[in-house]
Amino acid sequence: MKKNWIILCMLPLFFLPGKINAQKVAEKTNLLYWATSTPNFGLEVMLHNRWSLDFSVGHNPWDLPDNLSLRHWLVRMEPRFWMREAFKGHFFGVNGVYAAYNIGNIPFIDDLKEHTYKGNLYGGGLTYGYHFVLNKRWGLELSLSGGYLRMEYDQYFCSDCRELIGHTARSYIGPTRAAVSLVFML
């Protein structure tokens, strides 16, 4: 299942133009994701003056103090339509996401206070965003996504004991991502 989702997410990359010019490729990182100690990287390529393709990954391999765990890796792809031109102003996107996670012992979320969840999620949705041009090379991008996620996971009593409670599958409809991204134009 993981392999199929990764292949599906990577497939559009084969249709990118062979020649990439300056100001048509952007590297980015979501600053909100860094607040969870998650390194992340995005690459966005302009396909046409009002279309682009955003591809981003994130990976959090660490256990935090007090057995708090936010371990995961995530792959996300999003074709975008820009209202003016790529990398300027308002845009709308359709996104797909796949992630594998092992999270638990998070004191401010009731279900995660004393339980650990290990599993996969996949889904998709719609995005609205705005790209602020700061100068020739730098930009700031704000975006919000909402949609559907399917989560399939094993639930454990705690991260140390690994006592399995059961396997669950759950669907979610609602906000799926918020981003404040620092963007560098190549």
Average pLDDT score over the chain: 88
What are the structural domains, with CATH classification, of the chain?
2-11+25-185 (2.40.160)
- pTM (whole model) above 0.95: no
**pLDDT higher than 70, residue 163:** yes
Distance CA 28, CA 76 (A): 13
Tell me the percentage of the chain whose pLDDT exceeds 70. 86
Residue 4 confidence (pLDDT): 57
Distance CA 34, CA 40 (A): 7
β-partners of residue 124 are 96, 148
Residue 104 confidence (pLDDT): 85
Q: Which residues contact 66 (CB under 8 A, 6 or more apart)?
A: 105, 107
Q: Identify the band that residue 1 occupies on the pLDDT scale cut at 50, 70 and 90.
A: low
Q: What average pLDDT does this structure show over 56-83?
A: 91
Q: Identify the band that residue 185 occupies on the pLDDT scale cut at 50, 70 and 90.
A: very high
β-partners of residue 151 are 121, 170
Q: What average pLDDT does this structure show over 125-139?
A: 97
Q: What average pLDDT does this structure show over 102-125?
A: 87
3-57 confidence digits (pLDDT tens)? 555 555 555 555 555 454 445 999 999 999 999 889 999 999 999 999 999 999 9
